[in-house]
Amino acid sequence: MFRQARWDEPLIYELSKEGLIGHLVPEPSKELVDSVGARPEEMVPAAMLRKETPLLPEVSEVDVVRHYTRLSQMNYGVDLGTYPLGSCTMKYNPKICEELASDDNIVWLHPLQDEDTVQGILEILYKLERWLCKITGMYKATLQPAAGAHGELTGCLIIRAYHEYKGEKRDEMLVPDSAHGTNPASAAMAGFKVIRVPTRDDGCVDIEALKAALSEKTAGIMLTNPNTLGLFEKDILKIAKMIHEAGGLLYYDGANLNAVLGKARPGDMGFDIVHINVHKTFGTPHGGGGPGAGPICVTKELEKFLPIPVIEYDPDNKKYYLDYNRPYSIGRVRAFYGNIIPLLKAFVYIMSLGEKGLEKVSEVAVLNTNYFLTKIKSVKGYTLPYAPERHRKHECVISAKELRKETGVTAEDVAKALLDEGVHAPTIYFPPIVEEALMIEFTESERAENIDRYAEALRRISEKAYKCPEELKKAPLNTSIRRLDYVKANLPKTVVLTYKMYIKKLRKSNSTGR
């Protein structure tokens, strides 16, 4: 069984000792000073020079190296073991993508370089755009948004611009109650009123409720297909027709495109805008807020609203260039041209797999989910709510409602107990339409043996719950950090410590009369 290294590792601020130095800045040579005519500190305008040293920990180089090495050994990642975080798509990221993304020709590029000197990366980005459009069945893309949620916001702003262009006042965005939380948030940020659409017992959008919600105020709908339950929306063509006839647009949350890669395209389903989380579907290690990129692809009709700049190719001069001359554009959404590194990794990922490979990605991801379900269905305490007879796509949501009712053990306790089993917990309590939700997504990364082990761990936890539930309430016991106090965890120790150091320093400077 995998166990993480357990160090009693303090914060780097706690390691701080006055006078310790990690890195010495070399003295400038006499020749350099003579040739410039000044020492470096004399060249900085007086107003910009610090009066006091910044509040940084004072540590030696070896302290720093040991500290971060120990932290890395306490950490759990997809390179260490199974990480089936539903909706977040934590997949293995091929090292070839990392290697090429850290090539000197990439990392030393500067966004202010002349266009003529960056033709290579522009070509890569242009081709990636074309590929993403082909994969989604759309017309034109922008790679600028820095994450999925940012793509959603960009898409919502385009929907707004489209209705304004047509001279229509439409301010209502329909969002199913199974949607990712970023959907209603993005719609609200773009100025829309969010109208919640309920889910039927079969896990799909309630068509009757949708019909009732449509009006001349409807700007559009934000849909995830397959939805967060892992179910493909059977009525998608009917829904698209209804929305379009009402004058609205369809937005596709394509964060988890590995569910349908090479099998179905949002464009063919009737969607007008799609965002893609390249950091999920096309591999880039992500978590804790980044790094990522959330390109969006749109139909021909919406092309003119895309953010500036748009990468174009001039066949006469055989040159790629950034086009800023777009009068209907919603404007800029990101500095320069977005997060180049995750985009480059996506380019390498797609290129290394090719069309057939991408199709296989979704086949294996879907197979893994359904293989897991066959293993877990018979385990006491867990159920599969919403259309249990239907196959799931890239992920599934099981409920620990029965387990809680019969033993008091909650989805959270199960998640903590899984850490003791040496694997990562799934996403819990999402989507909110499932009570005691455990949302599991193995992706295509896992072999059957690893899925077997995960199902076995869940079975052991269920058995323990019926025998000695109080023990599970104490989990995790094997990890460096035990169960957190959620209130205290919201006030990071670093903040408290920096504050204390600041106060100490203030007192000291007061006592010396400064």
Ligand X SMILES: *Cc1c(COP(=O)(O)O)cnc(C)c1O
For position 266 contacting ligand X by CB under 6 A, the verdict is no
By CB under 6 A, residue 175 contacts ligand X? no
Among 153, 255, 440, 458, binds ligand X (CB under 6 A): 255
Which of 252-260, 316-324, 380-388, 491-499 is the region at the interface with ligand X (rule: CB under 6 A)?
252-260
CB of 338 to ligand X, least distance (A): 13
Nearest residue (CB) to ligand X, 413 versus 444: 444
Q: Given the complex with ligand X, which of 256 and 368 has the nearer CB atom?
A: 256
Cα distances (angstroms) measured from residue 492 to each of 16, 41, 484: 18, 35, 12
Query: In the complex, what is the shortest distance from the CB of residue 393 to ligand X, in angstroms, rounded to a whole number?
Result: 12
> In terms of CB distance, is 87 or 407 closer to ligand X?
87
With a CB cutoff of 8 Å and minimum separation 6, the contacts of 60 are 20, 21, 22
Q: Which of 230, 266, 292, 476 binds ligand X (CB under 6 A)?
A: 292
Instruction: Give the nearest distance from C-beta 254 to ligand X in angstroms.
Output: 8
Q: Looking at beta carbons, which residue is closest to ligand X?
A: 148
Question: Which one, 146 or 417, has the nearer CB to ligand X?
Answer: 146
Burial category of 483 from C-beta neighbours within 10 Å (exposed 0-12, middle 13-18, buried 19 and up): middle
Q: Which stretch binds ligand X (CB under 6 A): 9-17, 146-154, 323-331, 403-411?
A: 146-154
Question: Residue 294 interacts with ligand X (CB under 6 A)?
Answer: yes
Kind and range of the H or E element at 42?
A: helix 40-43
Which of the stretches 24-32, 231-239, 248-256, 497-505 binds ligand X when contact is defined by CB under 6 A?
Answer: 248-256
Q: Is residue 299 near ligand X by the rule CB under 6 A?
A: no
Q: Which C-beta is closer to ligand X: that of 253 or that of 436? A: 253
Q: Binder to ligand X among 180, 304, 401, 464 (CB under 6 A)?
A: 180
The Cα 12–Cα 367 span in angstroms is 44
| Nearer CB in complex with ligand X: 147/403 | 147
Residues paired with residue 253 on neighbouring β-strands, in sequence order: 275
Nearer to ligand X, 184 or 422 (CB): 184
369 binds ligand X (CB under 6 A): no
Does position 333 interact with ligand X (CB under 6 A)? The reply is: no
Q: 398-401, long-range: CB within 8 Å, 24+ apart, which pairs?
A: 398/437, 398/438, 398/440, 399/434, 399/435, 399/436, 399/437, 399/438, 400/436, 400/438, 401/435, 401/436
Say whether residue 84 binds ligand X (CB under 6 A): no
CB of 145 to ligand X, least distance (A): 9
**368 lines the binding site for ligand X (CB under 6 A):** no
45/289 with CB nearer ligand X: 289
Q: How are beta strands 249-254 and 273-276 bridged, if at all?
A: parallel
Q: Is 222 helix (H, G, I), strand (E, B) or coil?
A: strand
Buried b / exposed e along 33-64 (16+ C-beta atoms within 10 A):
eeeeeeeeeeeeeeeeeeeeeeeebebeeebb
Residue of 142, 218, 225, 277 interacting with ligand X (CB under 6 A): 277
284 binds ligand X (CB under 6 A): no
Q: How many residues does the chain have?
A: 514
Site membership for ligand X, residue 87 (CB under 6 A): yes
CA distances from 181 to 8, 431, 474 (A): 36, 9, 30
For ligand X, the binding residue among 178, 218, 256, 299 (CB under 6 A) is 256
Give how many residues touch ligand X by CB under 6 A: 14
Question: Alpha helices, DSSP H only, in 285-442?
Answer: 340-376, 401-407, 411-420
Q: Is residue 230 within the footprint of ligand X (CB under 6 A)? A: no
Nearer of residues 228 and 299 to ligand X, judged by Cβ: 228
- Asked if 156 touches ligand X (CB under 6 A), the answer is no
Question: Rounded to whole angstroms, how far apart are CA atoms 261 and 337?
Answer: 26
Based on the shown chain and the rule CB under 6 A, indicate whether residue 233 belongs to the binding site for ligand X: no
CB 370 within 8 A of CB 344: no
On whether the CB atoms of residues 395 and 440 are closer than 8 A, the answer is yes
Going by C-beta distance under 8 Å and a sequence separation of 6 or more, which residues neighbour residue 63?
15, 20, 22
Residue of 9, 129, 253, 421 interacting with ligand X (CB under 6 A): 253
Q: Give phi and psi for 74, each to the nearest 5.
A: -85, -15
Q: Does 283 bind ligand X (CB under 6 A)?
A: no
Choice from 82, 136, 182, 462 touching ligand X (CB under 6 A): 182
Closest CB to ligand X among residues 219, 276: 276
Give 183 or 299: the residue with its C-beta nearer to ligand X.
183
Residue 269 sits at the vertex; the CA angle it makes with 264 and 272, to the nearest 5 degrees, is 120
Q: Phi-psi category of 7—alpha, beta or left, where left has phi over 0 and alpha has psi -120 to 50? A: beta
Residues of this chain that bind ligand X (CB under 6 A)? 87-88, 147-149, 180, 182, 224, 253, 255-256, 277, 292, 294
